[in-house]
């Protein structure tokens, strides 16, 4: 297997790595959320809402809700 004869310069290495950065995912709140915009969780626009289970205004998942215990 061939090996490089000389070391690559810092500039050449950095030019190659310019596209390797991590980008943040843009989040937004679904306006068609049945819970309302104020109760919905910000999530990626191309994902199902983790709180209500809706995607593009349609129910996709059924979310289980925890019931609070009543003190007797």
Q: How do the pLDDT tens digits run along the chain, 72 residues long?
A: 889 899 999 999 999 999 888 888 888 887 777 777 788 888 888 888 888 888 888 888 888 877 777 776
Beta-bridge partners for 59: 54
Residue 44 covered by a domain: yes
15 located within any domain: no
Q: Is residue 40 part of a domain?
A: yes
User: Quick one: which of 52, 47, 50, 48 has its CA closest to 33?
Assistant: 52
- Which pTM value belongs to this model? 0.53
Range of the domain at 60: 25-64
Q: How many domains does the chain have?
A: 1
Residue 34 lies in a domain: yes
């Amino acid at each position: 297997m061939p090996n490089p004869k000389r070391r690559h310069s810092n500039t050449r290495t950095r030019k190659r790595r310019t596209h390797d950065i991590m980008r943040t995912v843009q989040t937004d709140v679904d306006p068609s959320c049945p819970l309302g915009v104020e109760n919905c969780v910000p999530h990626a626009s191309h994902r199902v809402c983790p709180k209500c289970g809706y995607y593009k205004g349609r129910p996709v998942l059924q979310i289980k809700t925890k019931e609070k215990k009543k003190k007797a």
